[in-house]
Amino acid sequence: MWHPAVKKQWRSSQELAAHRSTLGRSLNRLMVLDYVWTQLVGNKGRFWVLHAVKKDTLYVQVKVSVAKNELTTKRRWLISELNKHFDTPWIKHIEII
């Protein structure tokens, strides 16, 4: 019987490699996202802080209301520009927190 507290036991090196490959792709995507975000937002990075990513949504912490208004107007542009750096469009939403 499987128990959630029991760690996954791989039966072959292929299973382990497949898991590591998925993890590696996720980490690469996050590293690319962080780099591209920094390049796109430039000085606004002081006010727009990439806080989290969950599925297809970025959560951005905004420090001042004027910056919130600007991010709201540039949201679609940012999504489009970010997705240019991935094989398939990944980011669909930006939520302001």
Could you tell me the domains of the chain? 13-96 (3.30.300)
Say how far apart CA 18 and CA 94 lie, in whole Å.
Answer: 30
Parallel, antiparallel or unpaired: strands 57-62 and 48-54: antiparallel
Q: What is the pLDDT of residue 18?
A: 62
Quick count: other Cβ atoms within 10 Å of Cβ 69?
11
- Token pair 């490959």 is found at 21
Query: Of 53, 54, 56, 44, nearest to 90 (Cα)?
Result: 56
User: What is d(CA 41, CA 75) in angstroms, rounded to the nearest whole number?
Assistant: 11
Task: State pTM to two decimals.
Answer: 0.74
Q: Could you report the average pLDDT of every consecutive run of 10 residues in the chain (97 residues)?
A: 54 62 78 95 94 95 94 96 93 96
